[in-house]
Amino acid sequence: MKKKIFSIVLTLAMVVSVAPVMVAAADESAALTDESVTVVADECVQAEVGPAGECAAAAPADESIQAAFGPAGESAAYADESIAVTADESVQTEAAPAGECAAVADESIHTAFGPADESAAAADESAVVADESVAAAANAKASLADHGPEPYSVKLSRVAKKNPNYRAAVWTGKELQLTVMSIPRQGEIGLEMHGDTDQFIYIVEGSGTVQMGPARDKLNYSAPVTRGSGVFVPLGTWHNIVNGGCGDLKVFTVYAPPHHPHGTVHKTKAIADAQGD
């Protein structure tokens, strides 16, 4: 009986002594369980939420959104840019040619009206030239008369250019005479010599070659002459001027003393040669 009681007491003592350990172990197990639950829960949350956070924060979701919307935004921007560029290009394409057309139109207007103004100006100028020609012809006709030995002044270049004759006396005095001459293309004054007069020849228009010398067969002086050239021929010198230009050679000649009769007019060289003058 005593043994049984002792056994019960010992068992209770063991239970009492083990109980705190078991409670502590149970508490530790509970804590571990809580930690496990917390850790697992956190890991689960991290596993479930974290990737989502990662997706949201970084790549997948934002990238997906960016992929889904970003390109659309970029596309929209590109679309806006394309619209702007296309619109600008279209405006430029439509406006620029219009500007060019406007320029062409201006040119056309200029072509349409400018030449008219120019034509009007040309017509006015032609009218002026015609008037001048009429006046010049009248003056030339009047000037071709021999005005010597009276006092006289005249524009020699105009008289010489308008002269159609081989030779015409403009002024004949006691000691001096002036004539104008027109030598046709490939024509010549003709080889001649004046034993009683010095001569001065001035080239008003055209070009040619002058030859001079002491004898008909000894023309040892030769030189080209053009507009503005002056030729001095001493008395007793053989001389000739050949027209080497494309048009008439217009000259005026001064003799001192006079060589031709007062009022001389030779329409052609042949007439002058026939008259021995």
**160-212 residue pLDDT tens:** 999 999 999 999 999 999 999 999 999 999 999 999 999 999 999 999 999 99
Take residue 252 and report the two structure tokens written for it.
């005026």
- From first CA to last CA, the distance across the chain in angstroms is 200
Judge if 165 and 263 occupy the same domain: yes
Judge whether 115 lies within some domain. Answer: no
**Helices marked H in the chain:** 2-48, 50-57, 60-68, 70-143, 156-162, 269-274
The Cα 247–Cα 234 span in angstroms is 28
Asked if 270 and 165 sit in the same domain, the reply is: yes
Find out whether 247 and 205 touch, Cβ atoms under 8 Å: yes
Does residue 8 belong to any structural domain of this protein? yes
Q: How many domains does one find in the chain? A: 2
Compute the distance between CA of residue 237 and CA of residue 233 in angstroms, rounded to an integer.
7
Q: Which residues pair with 221 in a beta bridge?
A: 212
Instruction: Look at residue 144 in the predicted model and tell me its pLDDT.
Output: 80
Residue that the structure tokens 């149970």 belong to = 26
Neighbouring-strand partners of residue 238: 213
151 is a domain residue? no
Residue 164, domain extent? 156-274
Round the CA-based radius of gyration of the chain to a whole number and report it. Answer: 63
Q: Which of 25, 43, 66 is the last residue of a domain?
A: 66
The pLDDT of residue 198:
98
In a domain, 138, yes or no: no
- Residue of 160, 167, 166 whose CA lies nearest to 143: 160
Measured CA to CA, the distance from residue 107 to residue 116 in angstroms comes to 13
Whether residues 160 and 270 share a domain: the answer is yes
CATH number at residue 193: 2.60.120.10
Q: Residue 195: its pLDDT value, please?
A: 96
* Residue 22, token pair as written in the block: 């078991």
Same-domain pairing of 62 and 167: no
Q: Among 35, 66, 97, give the residue marking a domain's end.
A: 66
Residues 164, 60 within the same domain: no
**Taking Cα atoms as reference points, which of 228, 249, 255 lies closest to residue 148?**
255
Going residue by residue through the chain, which has 277 residues, state the pLDDT in tens, using 9 for 90 and above.
Answer: 556 565 665 666 565 454 554 444 445 544 444 554 343 334 433 444 444 444 434 444 444 434 344 444 444 444 454 434 344 444 344 334 444 444 444 444 444 444 555 555 556 666 655 566 555 555 555 568 999 999 999 999 999 999 999 999 999 999 999 999 999 999 999 999 999 999 999 999 999 999 999 999 999 999 999 999 999 999 999 999 999 999 999 999 999 999 999 999 999 999 999 998 8
Tell me, rounded to whole angstroms, the distance of Cα 26 from its chain centroid. Answer: 105
Q: Are 230 and 251 in contact (CB under 8 A)?
A: no
Long-range contacts of 123-131 (CB under 8 A, 24+ apart): none
Helix 50-57 × helix 60-68 angle, to 10°: 40
In the chain, what's the furthest Cα-to-Cα distance? 202
**Strands ordered across the beta sheet of 177-183:** 230-233, 198-205, 249-256, 177-183, 167-172, 265-266
Whether residue 129 is contained in a domain is answered as no
Specify if 186 maps to a domain: yes
Instruction: Identify whether 108 is part of a domain.
Output: no
119 falls within a domain: no
Q: Which of 10, 39, 66 is the last residue of a domain?
A: 66
d(CA 70, CA 186): 93
